[in-house]
Amino acid sequence: MESNRDHTDAIHTKVRNGYAAIAEQGACCGPVASCCGSSGDDAAKLAESIGYAQDDLASLPEGANMGLSCGNPVALASLKPGEVVVDLGSGGGFDIFIAGRKVGATGRAIGVDMTAQMLSKARHNAKTYQERSGLDNVEFRLGEIEHLPVADNSVDVLISNCVINLSPDKPRVWREMFRVLKPGGRVAVSDLALLQPIPQEVAEMVEALVGCIAGAVLVKETERMARDAGLVDITLTEKRDYVDTMTDWNDPLFRKIMESLPPGTKMSEFVTSLYVTGKKSLA
């Protein structure tokens, strides 16, 4: 019988291998499925469609945007100069490089990722970021989001973009977020969540797991986990149009999953992009 530790390790291995391949091929999709439906120029179009400003995208190092987003947590976070921000599952550094410019020279933007290939890519991109921005305020740490390599009560803002649903132990992730936040610190997450349970056949697909769908939980479960972790002032905003956009672009992952859905249904009836905000009380 598989233990919880073995189950966790197996999921981490699947996700790590999937995203290592994405990092090595330089963009999402193609032979490897991911939380995306685009690569190259389409990655920029996707980012614009979910709220990223053209100026922010133009300032990014080449290859930082791999089309792995399902929302814009940086905008949701309303970052201020001097703040410390941590990105859970930072990939090639996409959101960190945008966040770094917003927190400025007196702030710090820290990315955490468990995939060595993504970390290598992000650190390479950081050199370009520093040259273009004149800022030396970003860093990337190897680690799992269930065990953040971050000190207690040290972070002003936590962001994450289409990553938490990949975790096999989501309650622990939310508890870790609460642990590292300073009193009064806040959370701004974009993720995929379920509106209703997905068919078992879809849940068992490796492509769906790496694509952030098999591991997603119901919207109400996300709220419960955040609240149980200790966060307050929690708000959840559904963005179903993101999933419709992915379907319209004929992403190969989404197309394959749609073939396993009940006839006459569409992806956005089961899955939504979800914005989650909350904070750690001053008490």
Q: Residue 13 CB: number of other CB atoms within 10 A?
A: 10
Among all chains, which residue has been given the structure tokens 């930072």? 90
Q: How confident is the prediction along the chain (283 residues), in pLDDT tens digits per residue?
A: 456 776 677 667 766 766 666 666 654 443 333 444 444 556 777 777 677 888 888 888 876 776 667 888 999 999 999 999 999 999 899 999 999 999 999 999 999 999 898 899 999 999 999 999 999 999 999 999 999 999 999 999 999 998 998 898 999 999 999 999 999 999 999 998 999 887 777 776 655 655 567 678 899 999 999 999 999 999 999 988 877 776 665 556 666 777 777 888 888 888 888 999 999 999 7
pTM, 2 dp: 0.84
Q: Residue 4 and residue 7: Cα distance in Å, rounded? A: 5
Residue 128's CATH number: 3.40.50.150
Residue 155 belongs to what domain range? 4-279
Q: Are the C-beta atoms of residues 34 and 206 closer than 8 Å to each other?
A: no
Q: Residue 152 CB: number of other CB atoms within 10 A?
A: 10
pLDDT of the residue at 88: 97
pLDDT of the residue at 29: 41
Q: Are the C-beta atoms of residues 183 and 280 closer than 8 Å to each other?
A: yes
In the chain, the DSSP E strands lie at: 84-88, 108-113, 138-142, 155-161, 181-194, 232-239, 271-279
- Angle at alpha carbon of residue 72, lines to 70 and 78, rounded to 5°: 155
Q: Residue 265 and residue 63: Cα distance in Å, rounded? A: 35
Q: Residue 178 and residue 260: Cα distance in Å, rounded? A: 37
Tokens of 238: 């559904």
Q: Residue 168 and residue 185: Cα distance in Å, rounded? A: 25
Count up the domains in the chain and report the number.
Answer: 1
pLDDT of the residue at 36: 44
Q: Are the C-beta atoms of residues 112 and 86 closer than 8 Å to each other?
A: yes
Tokens of 188: 């701004």
Tokens of 6: 């073995």
SS3 track for 172-231: HHHHHHHHHEEEEEEEEEEEEEECCCCCHHHHCCHHHHHCCCCCCCEHHHHHHHHHHHCC
